[in-house]
Amino acid sequence: MSGREMEYIKNAFETNWIAPVGPNLQQFEKAIAEYAMVDDAVAVSSGTAAIHLALSLLEVQAGDTVFCSSLTFVASANPILYQGAEPVFIDSEPETWNMSPIALERALGDSFLSGKLPKAVIVVNLYGQSAKMEEIISICSHFNVPVIEDAAESLGASYKGKASGTFGDFGVYSFNGNKIITTSGGGALLSNNKEALNKARFLATQARDPAPHYQHSETGYNYRMSNVLAGIGIAQLQVLNERVESRRSIFRRYFQELSCLNGIDFMPELANTTSSRWLTVCTINEEVTGTSVKSILQALTLENIEARPVWKPLHLQPLFKNCKYYPHNDKESISEQLFQKGICLPSGSSLTEDDMVRILACIKGTMKLKGMVI
């Protein structure tokens, strides 16, 4: 927390605006839209809810297909299943680790020929880095397929000077506890289509028709963010740029110490983009370094330091075992390679120099140890 959250929470309590609406909620939505420079934003209970609303607005239903990045957290694709639709997973490419425009084009070409284009493409901006949005938007517009930009991990990042999350027909942010800023739990749906977002507000509050009695003609959801949590969001948004700066400086510290070692490569930052470096992520070449993701994770765990492997690609998940997958090319599945050798290093905005020294010593220690055995 930044310290100013309590002011807004206190205000919500004192004025008795708790939920489902209130001045904090309105102010937070306005602040998100201003930050991202889009026409409107709807604050909801989670990033997952925001993706679900986007799919509802695009009328995704049973029997439809939706394309989605494979290398991501399961929340990117779960809402496809909520709608009874079928996900098709698209591989990553090496320059951003995000959706491969080449694989996407092949997949869209195939769907076009089979006479059944997807209802939407969900593009994820992993670990703070934007996907190749220009290429992806241009391919999708060619086939007239709408884009949902899952920017849950890239709030604070930019692509050619524009905020990440503002390139698709809809953008999604998450304010879950693990994200760069948080409302404890929460999310937002962004768009320049105000009419669609008003429909999202309607759907997010049980789709109540404008009648004095309770009348409903569509299936709605209970997805609105509470006015109390929106208060936390207002204060958090004020420190977003500082948080990005800390995450980027943590990245620089790792880079300084580890990038000179052969066999360690950091997640790239595409030209003309600024990654928020939500997480610092690198790949470990076992043969060259003499260590492995597994050994580093074990060594860090012994020191009570938490780190994680890179997301397990969704096309490899038991949940999605029957879904179609388009690799980057017929020789390489980039997401599978990244899953094999990628590690997410501790990256919290509040890491201290002492923490960094401990983490770095621990990582380097695994390399020395293995070297001695050889």
The residues that touch ligand PLP, with contacts defined as CB under 6 A, are 46-48, 72-73, 75-76, 124, 150, 152-153, 174, 176, 187
- Contact between residue 99 and residue 327 where contact means Cβ atoms under 8 Å apart: no
Tell me how far, at minimum, the Cβ of 47 lies from ligand PLP, in Å: 3
Residue 166 Cβ vs ligand PLP, minimum distance, rounded to whole Å = 16
**To the nearest whole angstrom, how small is the minimum distance from the Cβ of residue 15 to ligand PLP?**
27
| Residue (52 or 341) nearer to ligand PLP, CB | 52
* Nearest distance in Å: CB 131, ligand PLP: 11
* Nearest position to ligand PLP, beta carbon: 47
Q: Which is nearer to ligand PLP, 54 or 299 (CB)?
A: 54
Provide the b/e sequence for 157-174 (b: ≥16 CB within 10 Å): bbbeeebbbbbbbbbbbb
Cβ at position 174, least distance to ligand PLP in Å: 3
Nearer Cβ to ligand PLP, position 176 or 205? 176
CA dist 160 → 76, 157, 191, 248 (Å): 24, 10, 18, 18
Residues in the chain: 374
Which of residues 181 and 363 has its CB atom nearest to ligand PLP in the complex?
A: 181
Residues 6+ apart with CB under 8 A from 282: 254, 258, 264, 265, 266, 267, 342, 343, 345
Sign of CA dihedral 40, 43, 48, 50: negative
- Provide, rounded to whole angstroms, the least separation between the CB of residue 45 and ligand PLP: 8
Which amino acid would we find at residue 160? K
- Residue 17 or 311: the one with the smaller Cβ distance to ligand PLP is 311
67 with 143: CB under 8 angstroms? no
Residue number with CB closer to ligand PLP (76 or 111) = 76
265 to 65, 158, 197, 285: CA distances (angstroms): 35, 22, 41, 8
